[in-house]
Structure 1
Amino acid sequence: MLLKEDAPEMATCDKMILAVKQLHRNSALAVKQIKSGVFRSGNRLFLTDTLVPSRLQPPRSFSSVPLSTAMTAGCRLTATRYRWTRAGVFLRGQTNFLTPTSRPCLLQDRMFVNRVGGAGFSGEDGGDSAGSGGEESSGDGGVPYGPQMTALTPMMVPEEFPNVPLIAVSRNPVFPRFIKIIEVKNKVLMELLRRKVRLAQPYAGVFLKKDDLDESDVVESLDAIYSTGTFVQIHEMQDLGDKLRMIVMGHRRIRITRKLEMEPDEASTSTGWLESELQPKAPSRRKAKRSRKDQPASLTEQIEDKLKSLECFFFQALTAEIVKTIRDIIALNPLYRESVLQMMQAGQRVVDNPIYLSDMGAALTGAESHELQDVLEEINIPKRLYKALSLLKKEYELSKLQQRLGREVEEKIKQTHRKYLLQEQLKIIKKELGLEKEDKDAIEEKFRERLKERTVPQHIMDVINEELNKLGLLDNHSSEFNVTRNYLDWLTSMPWGTNSEENVSLERAKEVLEEDHYGMDDVKKRILEFIAVSQLCGSTQGKILCFYGPPGVGKTSIARSIARALNRQYYRFSVGGMTDVAEIKGHRRTYVGAMPGKIIQCLKKTKTENPLVLIDEVDKMGRGYQGDPSSALLELLDPEQNANFLDHYLDVPVDLSKVLFICTANVIDTIPEPLRDRMEMINVSGYVAQEKMAIAERYLVPQLRSHCGLTEEKASISSDALSLLIRQYCRESGVRNLQKQVEKVFRKVAFSIVSGEQTTVTVTPDNLQVYVGKPIFTVDRMYDVTPPGVVMGLAWTSLGGSTLFIETSLRRPSGGVDSKGEGSLEVTGQLGDVMKESAKIASTFARAFLMTQEPENHFLVNSHLHLHVPEGATPKDGPSAGCTIVTALLSLATNRPVRQNVAMTGEVSLTGKILPVGGIKEKTIAARRAGVTCIIMPNENRKDFSDLPDYISEGLEVHFVDHYSQIYPIAFPQDQS
């Protein structure tokens, strides 16, 4: 064999034919072929699978292969068979030489081995190769395979190759003698590269793009790339259909001279700026060949490296310094070692090749793309070496910084690890000496220590012991361990058997209540009764009270005073807007982050079993997909059930029978009836002007003056000014707005004193507007003198009581009666359904009552009337204005005004009976505020009026009636003109 180790290195051209034949036979034997040979066609040699070497035409089942390709493939197969690692073919002049070389044999030509029609080489005329279609087919008819892999045979790279395709890359250029993987997705460029490979011209020019962010394969203009690039050979090409993946190897530097101009009929199939052409048809190809005769011979030029004569010592110093720097980088970062070994060619001293050394130094660094391109463009070898050395020095400094940072981080980790080990050792030593117990033992001892002074029920103690035993079997780092520990923490933190000593002195309780609040006699009496019962029984029991009334009357603040009077711990939480039942009854322990409900949290915080719990805004609870909180309160506020209240988290019965629950609400209509039935309802009505005056003088003025940093000598408000402030600015039932206005006065006084305008200020009715602005309520009533058809009524609102005028008028002229002789009534003023029905009932009764008083008066029967309740933007509803509407209709029908300074309230039935209404206190306060001296109300409300304080009822003429016939002589006296 020619390629054995004892074979000659070169063979002559005549002997080469015999060598190729023998090589091909060996290759055929390797693939179980029995026929092989070489035939000559003109001056060209072809390889075929026949024993007849003189046949001019190859068999149809095998495409003819050029000699260079055949030699290389045969050499590869022979080398593979004899387990050689390196073999190849090179061309020198006009003579073909077959020789072992140092070039690695990376892949084998699968097409030549097994005759599978891959993307192999075809003849120069672009013969029918099955590999260009992206599939592989066998000689039997084509069995499809996966993505094509084309292994190109090594060949001598031509010294001059004028036209090459242009491949634009980003970030890193390709240096000569270095390998790079490139992917191409542009369809035109992919087809051009496939054709170049089929034509046995696997060469291209790789140029770096100036914009690193541009990821496209092609460029719109040559200005987008650097003019200097690398002439590369495609060693391997994998066709994936939508893209090509190639392994290319750089050979030398090239520079773009000009782009290839295509003929008009070829422009549609060319990329326009690639230094080659794409010929899909034979006529176009011949035309392109003719056009190339008129073009310059080369579109790219090779860049020759210039090496000036330098002093030997300077050149050696540069080379040695580069090698030293590379070694230093490898010493700092061993990851560079593999990169250097891959870059260095086997059996070659890098120091002996300064050109390769400079390129290797630049490629080894992670420098910017323009810096690497600068090294690639440099043709002066010493300058190139110097630039590469600069990049290596930067890389060396970066490696030193990276090593220093890594050393610091590693040192910190070592210190942390050492500290952890010492702590663990210390724990073990303390355990051995008995100075410290294990975590589980310490936790169990802490929990049992909490229960020593408490009277824990037996069923609770059984649960605690069971959980402690479970805790001892669990691993400290398990999630169940933390869940169990938190559960035990809640169980042992409960105030089992712990009660605060309650005050049973009525005098002490009365003193505390009077000290904090003025008025509210009903609430104070109920608390004193609670204390009296506790004193007689010798023990206290929990109660459920509900204070309801308008905002700002002190419902929430009185609860704190009650807790202080009873010497109980105070806890407040609001349920306004609450939609989750778990807020009251807790979450199940299986949930992540589960917690008990508000009541269990209250007991843990107050540390007593008998606190005072204020549940605020019970009338504003919501309802969501998590449940209905108002239903959850049924068990909590039921005296028969809360002795065994079951929280979802604790899951053990808890006694709440000693807890005093106080709820607050503005209205009771929105409270569910079952919940309202469990509470003792206490009405907290609004304040009259006298009460507001007393509250302002006793509590608000001293407190707010102190909060603003003022003293009584510097700032004071006269009683007349407070009275005017209450009457014209603060007419609401509560005192919250009064508190804001008084605070506003003191703020402005403080500003005037600090700014030096005044030293002492006394607020009087004359200068009150300077501090609080213009009056809000300028008149007390809409009508000072009521005309015929207008009557003053009394209404109740959530803000307290107010006066309500009923107006009636004729809607059509008296002559415009319809043919039927029936009248009508139109109602306006944004009235509710109940009030509209009340107006219809009043109209019917007024007609009947007028017939009895004035039979000849048919005004209400034939007229079209309009009834209006002023302030149409305010919704109004309720039946209490029935007698007022009847009176207004009779006043309009008789054209007589009602008695001045009279107001009335009460529901009227269809037969004229006056039914009782609510809100007597608020309505009386509103009438007194409006200057009314005579009030008419139902007889059944006499008991409500008798409960009013004297300062509210004194000076009022009150008439209690059962039928409307008693109202008529009061509203229309006989002596009235």
Structure 2
Amino acid sequence: MSFDEKVLEIPQTLPMLPVRDIVVFPYMIIPLFVGREASIRSVEEALAKNRLIFLASQKDINEENPSPESIYTVGTVAMIMRMRKLSDGRVKILIQGVAKARVKNYVKTAPSFEVACEKIDESQFQVPPSDSEALIRTAKEHIERVIALGRPLSPDILLVLDDVTDPGRVADLVASNLGVKVQDAQKVLETSDPKERLKIVNELLAAEIEVMQMQAKIRNNAKDEMSKTQREYFLREQMKAIKNELGEQDSKSEEMEELREKIINAGMPPQVETEALKQMARLERMHPDASEATMVRTYLDWMVDLPWSKKTDDVLDLRKAKEILDDDHYDLQKAKDRVLEFLAVRKLKQSIKGPILCFAGPPGVGKTSLGRSIAKSMGREYFRIALGGVKDEAEIRGHRRTYVGAMPGKIIQALRQSKTNNPVIVLDEVDKLGSDFRGDPSAAMLEVLDPEQNATFRDNYLNVDFDLSNVLFIATANVLENIPPALRDRMEIINIPGYTENDKLLITKKHLINRQIEANGITNENIAFTDEGIRYLIGGYTREAGLRNLEREVGSICRKVAKLVVMNESKFVEVNATTVPELLGPPRFLRDDKLPDSQVGIIQGLAWTQAGGEVLHVEALKMKGKGGLMLTGQLGDVMKESAHAAMSYTKAHMEELGIPADFFEKYDIHVHLPAGAIPKDGPSAGITLTTALVSLMTDTPVRHDIAMTGEVTLQGRVLPVGGIREKCLAALNQGITNVIIPFANAKDLSDIPKQFKDKMNFILAENLDEVFAVAFDKNAKGVKKTPGGKKDGKKPKAPAAAA
């Protein structure tokens, strides 16, 4: 059923139905759902009269009760062809557009709209046939493209367009089927000129085609990507299935995710984390079986395991720290005070760089174990790095990752094992570092042991900065002279001297005996050590500054007692001066007793060894010859030079010293230091050798109750030497209480414990005249001459007062 608009008479007023999201064109047949009460009333009024109704679109589709101002004025007169009421109260109508019309005025707006409208006449517009044909063909081509690009239009539209020749009708037909926006469709509806209307429709079609082409392109790209992804997924699933069948579970992705999480949670500085994630991305791109993948994975494991931000809290209770240090070690007061000072400053100021300490002293005095006690007292982790014999720089700085089997250096390894970035690291035997073609490790230590530089320590393997400034480095050394000056300058040297006999007695009673009794499975009911027995053990069986051999001897006694207990030969043994030789055999070391009387050319000198102080007997002998000098006793170059300097001094001062003028023409001199198997060197025997030569040349005995040490110059000046504490205590152990030392060494007497210092008489000498005035025994028998007397009758310079 259709209507001809030319025949159909449109009444002056019509009920109006506002439609929300559609524009109705003439000749368009469409179903509409009507739900608003006013709209339903308009439909009922139309059906009651001539079934004609005026349809106009709302400007705002969301407006529920539109006003005349919010409704377009141009609309379509339509015929209601069918109507049906729905169960939800709405009405469904089927309408057909009849003619375009314009609202002249609103007759009523309530309860429903009724408008006076006039039909829009298009007959006055004439379109040339050529223009009309061109526009219609363009429209058809555009429609075909739209359908080809996948727009769901009815294919019958092309058949209908073949029969239509009016450009206005073609424009309305295309616009009604294209489903464009309300504003665009309304623009088409309001354009009266058929030619202009079709142009607008063609523009809309062209724009639609452009949009659809872009959509098609995006769709194709997405499809290609999806196909590629699906293919890869399918292949991966196949590989996974194959590996599952073979028992090889593919867990690479899980591992990578887990590793990434570890890197993020490791607390690395931003630059370090960036480098780690960069290496992580490289690893993900590599084949798991590639050799480089293993190297990168090992590197990342190292990065993750290092304590970038993990640290232990320092125990800042100074009294408790002092108790721990005193319980573990006897004496060593300087080292203990330095640690307590560090903790005190740490308590007052949070950000403090760890000091670099160097404990220097003979073997066995407790340097390394003191480092462990320091870590315990501070509540820090402890790690010991043995540097003895290290010759490769890479041991400190690490190898570059280009080498097979590359690893970080010992410092980074220590931090990984201690799991904190502020441990106490003991660099054991720093003076034993060597160097060869692989580099100088002591030079690599310069950066590690400098608080200003080690905040950005860069290991060759990691190739990123690591902050070592929180670490407390403690180096140990036996001989400071073996440490390069630049490295020595970076460390705070704390000298730990050897123990005196009294110290060893106390340490043995407090620590060694209990430790060895427990280690050897006996109890205090089986063995008891007397002070007399311990002293006999120290003096006869050990000769050292430290305690290692003493502990071995104590352990040896405990083992022998354990054997007696097990064999039921004895249940209890008292260790005294009588039982020690029975258990250990005769004493290994017999000390030279002090000289029984004053003799010519024999004098007691003092020497320092790593085992402590020693008293050496210097012997000088003359024989027929022509002024030659022979030196024996395995003397070093420096000591030989001291002997030659002494010889030159005596030759230059023959007259003042009372040496016969023809002495060097008649006699050769032989100087010998006993214990010839032991190497001896150093300048500190200078005054001893000079005194021995003068005694020999003048036949003047030297006091047997005196010992001396000091370097001599050709002018006769006495220069300071080292090891005064050990030398003086060695003299006291042999019963020698009078000691001549250089005047410049007066400051070193403060290191000697007061109970020993009070028993001794120290003579401080600045020149040889003062030495000779004290050393020679003028009351001994057989004295021929007294050196020091001068021709002018002046007396020699008086000896310095005793300290």
State the TM-score, normalizing by the size of structure 2.
0.65
Q: Contact 2:392 / 2:436 at 8 angstroms: preserved in 1? A: yes
Alpha carbons of structure 1 residues 426 and 864: separation in structure 2 relative to 1, 3 Å: closer
Query: Number of paired residues?
Result: 543
Match status 1:439 vs 2:252: yes
1:655 Cα offset (Å): 0.7
- 1:455 aligned residue (262, 267, 270): 267
Q: Quote the Cα distance in structure 2 between the aligned partners of 1:855 and 1:582.
A: 63
1:910 Cα offset (Å): 0.8
Alpha carbons of structure 1 residues 592 and 856: separation in structure 2 relative to 1, 3 Å: closer
- 1:832 aligned residue (607, 619, 636): 636
Matches within 5 A, 1:142-541: 424=244, 438-449=251-262, 451-452=264-265, 454-541=266-353
Q: Quote the Cα distance in structure 2 between the aligned partners of 1:759 and 1:856.
A: 70
Q: Say which SS state the counterpart of residue 313 (structure 2) adopts.
A: coil
- 1:922 aligned residue (726, 741, 745): 726
Match status 1:552 vs 2:357: no
Q: Quote the Cα distance in structure 2 between the aligned partners of 1:558 and 1:693.
A: 19
1:443 Cα offset (Å): 2.9
Alpha carbons of structure 1 residues 707 and 694: separation in structure 2 relative to 1, 3 Å: same
Alpha carbons of structure 1 residues 483 and 853: separation in structure 2 relative to 1, 3 Å: closer
Match of 1:758 in 2: 570
Match of 2:522 in 1: 710
Q: Say which SS state the counterpart of residue 547 (structure 1) adopts.
A: strand
Q: Quote the Cα distance in structure 1 between the aligned partners of 2:470 and 2:603.
A: 53
Whichever residue aligns with residue 445 of structure 1, its letter is: E
The CA deviation string for residues 186-209 of structure 1, in whole angstroms up to 9 with x for no partner, is: xxxxxxxxxxxxxxxxxxxxxxxx
Q: Quote the Cα distance in structure 2 between the aligned partners of 1:440 and 1:648.
A: 30
1:856 Cα offset (Å): 5.9
CA RMSD, Structure 1 to Structure 2 (Å): 2.2
Q: Say which SS state the counterpart of residue 615 (structure 1) adopts.
A: strand
Q: Contact 1:440 / 1:471 at 8 angstroms: preserved in 2? A: no
Match status 1:872 vs 2:706: no
Q: Quote the Cα distance in structure 2 between the aligned partners of 1:525 and 1:784.
A: 44
The CA deviation string for residues 438-466 of structure 1, in whole angstroms up to 9 with x for no partner, is: 423433324423642x5321110110111
- 1:912 aligned residue (708, 716, 726): 716
Q: Say which SS state the counterpart of residue 795 (structure 1) adopts.
A: strand
1:503 Cα offset (Å): 2.0
Q: Say which SS state the counterpart of residue 613 (structure 1) adopts.
A: strand
Q: Quote the Cα distance in structure 2 between the aligned partners of 1:736 and 1:785.
A: 37
Q: Quote the Cα distance in structure 1 between the aligned partners of 2:262 and 2:708.
A: 69
Alpha carbons of structure 1 residues 427 and 865: separation in structure 2 relative to 1, 3 Å: closer
Q: Contact 1:570 / 1:611 at 8 angstroms: preserved in 2? A: yes
Match of 1:727 in 2: 539
Q: Quote the Cα distance in structure 2 between the aligned partners of 1:694 and 1:438.
A: 63
Match status 1:893 vs 2:692: no
Match of 1:647 in 2: 459
Match of 2:405 in 1: 593
Q: Say which SS state the counterpart of residue 473 (structure 2) adopts.
A: strand
Match of 1:181 in 2: none
Whichever residue aligns with residue 949 of structure 1, its letter is: P
The CA deviation string for residues 471-520 of structure 1, in whole angstroms up to 9 with x for no partner, is: 22112222222111111111111111221111222211211111011121
Match status 1:694 vs 2:514: no
Q: Say which SS state the counterpart of residue 701 (structure 2) adopts.
A: coil
1:849 Cα offset (Å): 4.2
- 1:946 aligned residue (738, 741, 750): 750
1:784 Cα offset (Å): 3.7
The CA deviation string for residues 91-144 of structure 1, in whole angstroms up to 9 with x for no partner, is: xxxxxxxxxxxxxxxxxxxxxxxxxxxxxxxxxxxxxxxxxxxxxxxxxxxxxx
Q: Quote the Cα distance in structure 2 between the aligned partners of 1:696 and 1:728.
A: 15
State the TM-score, normalizing by the size of structure 1.
0.54
Match of 1:354 in 2: none
Match of 1:616 in 2: 428
The CA deviation string for residues 364-385 of structure 1, in whole angstroms up to 9 with x for no partner, is: xxxxxxxxxxxxxxxxxxxxxx
1:736 Cα offset (Å): 0.7
1:587 Cα offset (Å): 1.2
Q: Say which SS state the counterpart of residue 811 (structure 1) adopts.
A: strand
1:696 Cα offset (Å): 0.5
Q: Quote the Cα distance in structure 2 between the aligned partners of 1:887 and 1:598.
A: 53
1:956 Cα offset (Å): 0.8
Whichever residue aligns with residue 667 of structure 1, its letter is: V
Whichever residue aligns with residue 615 of structure 2, its letter is: T
Matches within 5 A, 1:34-45: none
Q: Say which SS state the counterpart of residue 937 (structure 1) adopts.
A: strand
1:573 Cα offset (Å): 1.3
1:727 Cα offset (Å): 1.4
Q: Contact 1:843 / 1:886 at 8 angstroms: preserved in 2? A: yes
Alpha carbons of structure 1 residues 973 and 809: separation in structure 2 relative to 1, 3 Å: closer
Instruction: For CA contacts below 8 A with separation 6 or more, give which structure has more relative contact order.
Output: 2
Alpha carbons of structure 1 residues 536 and 960: separation in structure 2 relative to 1, 3 Å: farther
Q: Contact 2:594 / 2:735 at 8 angstroms: preserved in 1? A: no
Alpha carbons of structure 1 residues 850 and 899: separation in structure 2 relative to 1, 3 Å: farther
Whichever residue aligns with residue 543 of structure 2, its letter is: R
Q: Quote the Cα distance in structure 2 between the aligned partners of 1:632 and 1:856.
A: 61
Structure 2 residue ranges without an equivalent (≥5): 1-238, 782-803
Q: Quote the Cα distance in structure 2 between the aligned partners of 1:779 and 1:588.
A: 56
Q: Contact 1:579 / 1:629 at 8 angstroms: preserved in 2? A: yes
Q: Contact 2:604 / 2:707 at 8 angstroms: preserved in 1? A: yes
Give the % identical residues: 43
1:697 Cα offset (Å): 0.2
Q: Quote the Cα distance in structure 2 between the aligned partners of 1:857 and 1:891.
A: 16
Q: Quote the Cα distance in structure 2 between the aligned partners of 1:616 and 1:952.
A: 33
Structure 1 residue ranges without an equivalent (≥5): 1-418, 431-436
1:624 Cα offset (Å): 2.6
Q: Say which SS state the counterpart of residue 877 (structure 1) adopts.
A: coil
Q: Contact 1:504 / 1:531 at 8 angstroms: preserved in 2? A: yes
Q: Say which SS state the counterpart of residue 606 (structure 2) adopts.
A: strand
Q: Quote the Cα distance in structure 2 between the aligned partners of 1:855 and 1:706.
A: 65
Match status 1:607 vs 2:419: yes
Q: Contact 2:361 / 2:477 at 8 angstroms: preserved in 1? A: yes
1:692 Cα offset (Å): 0.4
Q: Quote the Cα distance in structure 2 between the aligned partners of 1:910 and 1:942.
A: 23
Match status 1:810 vs 2:614: no
Alpha carbons of structure 1 residues 462 and 971: separation in structure 2 relative to 1, 3 Å: same
Q: Quote the Cα distance in structure 2 between the aligned partners of 1:621 and 1:511.
A: 34
Q: Contact 1:850 / 1:890 at 8 angstroms: preserved in 2? A: no
1:547 Cα offset (Å): 1.3
Match of 2:78 in 1: none
Q: Quote the Cα distance in structure 1 between the aligned partners of 2:764 and 2:656.
A: 23
Q: Quote the Cα distance in structure 1 between the aligned partners of 2:660 and 2:295.
A: 88
Q: Contact 1:583 / 1:598 at 8 angstroms: preserved in 2? A: yes
Match of 1:658 in 2: 470
Larger Rg: 2
Match of 1:570 in 2: 382
1:798 Cα offset (Å): 2.3
The CA deviation string for residues 726-784 of structure 1, in whole angstroms up to 9 with x for no partner, is: 11112311111110111000101001110111122222222211211111123343744
Whichever residue aligns with residue 635 of structure 2, its letter is: L
1:844 Cα offset (Å): 2.0
Match of 1:343 in 2: none
Whichever residue aligns with residue 677 of structure 2, its letter is: A
1:533 Cα offset (Å): 2.3
1:914 Cα offset (Å): 0.5
Q: Quote the Cα distance in structure 1 between the aligned partners of 2:251 and 2:629.
A: 88
Q: Quote the Cα distance in structure 1 between the aligned partners of 2:262 and 2:589.
A: 65
The CA deviation string for residues 53-78 of structure 1, in whole angstroms up to 9 with x for no partner, is: xxxxxxxxxxxxxxxxxxxxxxxxxx
Match status 1:800 vs 2:620: no
